[in-house]
Amino acid sequence: MRDSLVAAAFRLFLERGYEQTTVDDIVALAGVGRRSFFRYFPSKEDVVFPDHERCLAEMTAFLGDGDDAADPVARVCDAARLVLGMYAENPTFSVQRYRLTRQVPGLRAYELSVVWRYERALAEYLRGRFAGRPDGTLRADVVAAAVVAAHNNGLRSWLRSDGQEDAGAAVDHALAHVRLVFAPDPPAAPAPAAGDTEEDVVVVVSRRGAPMWRVVQEIETALGRTSD
């Protein structure tokens, strides 16, 4: 029922446009009653994003499962990848929807409210993890916004390629960028080893032609910690 409504809706949306399609048109094509449409989708916009509610629930469950051992920023990046997974499940559908939302202001506004709820979920999680730290809520909001922006940047680049590129790679690359920016995770203390407690500097030598990640790796080793 839900599926038949979504199928009918998208056939009409692609055929004659979103605003030129009325709910009556959709239910006529799907062969169901008008009232049933609004039972499954609280609004006409919802039929365009039929699986976000489920995905949002998955994300909150993922963030609330108590597995708080890892770096919080890494955790929200993984949470963001859940959304990418939902898009990647149905590439053609996602690309069609992307074209729709790009040119219909009403759908763009609706998508913003959906994205906002994801961002709130991430920010709430980070606020919990950053609790007590000075400017914890500020940092939580900023990191959440940055993660969402990076995710969307990678996602859109994939969508613009009609699903040809590697979605995971694009988003991973974007999220890595954010993690590099916010990576320090200050409390990952310098933890001076026994004996060199007085040392204040560390010297690293690297071949100039070495790839950046290799250099970073050497730095991390020298400093006795990781950027994660």
Partner DNA sequence: CCGAACGGGGAACTGAGTGCCATCTTGATC
Partner DNA sequence: GATCAAGATGGCACTCAGTTCCCCGTTCGG
Interface with DNA (CB under 7 A)? 1, 21-24, 31-36, 38-39, 42-45
- Best CA proximity match to 48, nearest among 94, 103, 105: 94
Q: Is 195 in the site for a second copy (CB under 8 A)?
A: no
Q: Is 70 in the site for a second copy (CB under 8 A)?
A: no
CA distance 167 to 80: 13
Q: How far is the CB of 46 from DNA (least distance, A)?
A: 8
Q: 69, 186, 194, 195: which one contacts a second copy (CB under 8 A)?
A: 186
Q: Is 135 in the site for a second copy (CB under 8 A)?
A: yes
Residue 104 dihedral angles phi and psi, to the nearest 5°: -115, 110
Here the tokens at position 158 are 């994939």
Q: Is 30 in the site for a second copy (CB under 8 A)?
A: no
Chain-centroid distance, C-alpha 150: 8
Q: Is 188 in the site for a second copy (CB under 8 A)?
A: yes
- Best CA proximity match to 86, nearest among 97, 75, 73: 97
Q: Give residue 90's region: left, alpha or beta (phi > 0; psi -120 to 50).
A: beta
Q: Is 152 in the site for a second copy (CB under 8 A)?
A: yes
Number of neighbouring beta carbons within 10 Å of residue 169: 11
How many residues interact with a second copy (rule CB under 8 A)? 59
Q: Which does 35 bind (CB under 5 to 8 A by kind): a second copy, DNA, none?
A: DNA
| 14 within 8 A of 93, measured Cβ to Cβ | no
Q: Is 180 in the site for a second copy (CB under 8 A)?
A: yes
Q: Which does 31 bind (CB under 5 to 8 A by kind): DNA, a second copy, none?
A: DNA
Q: Is 194 in the site for a second copy (CB under 8 A)?
A: no
Q: Is 166 in the site for a second copy (CB under 8 A)?
A: no
Look at residue 80 and give its three-state secondary structure.
Answer: helix
Q: How far is the CB of 24 from DNA (least distance, A)?
A: 6
CA distance 184 to 16: 51
CA distance 51 to 86: 8
Q: Which does 139 bind (CB under 5 to 8 A by kind): a second copy, DNA, none?
A: a second copy
| For a second copy, the closer CB: 35 or 208 | 208
CA distance 107 to 115: 12
| 157 within 8 A of 168, measured Cβ to Cβ | no
Binding footprint of a second copy on the chain (CB under 8 A): 105, 108-110, 112-113, 116, 135, 137-139, 141-142, 144-146, 148-150, 152-154, 173-174, 177-178, 180-186, 188, 190, 192, 199-209, 211-216, 219-220, 223, 225, 227-228
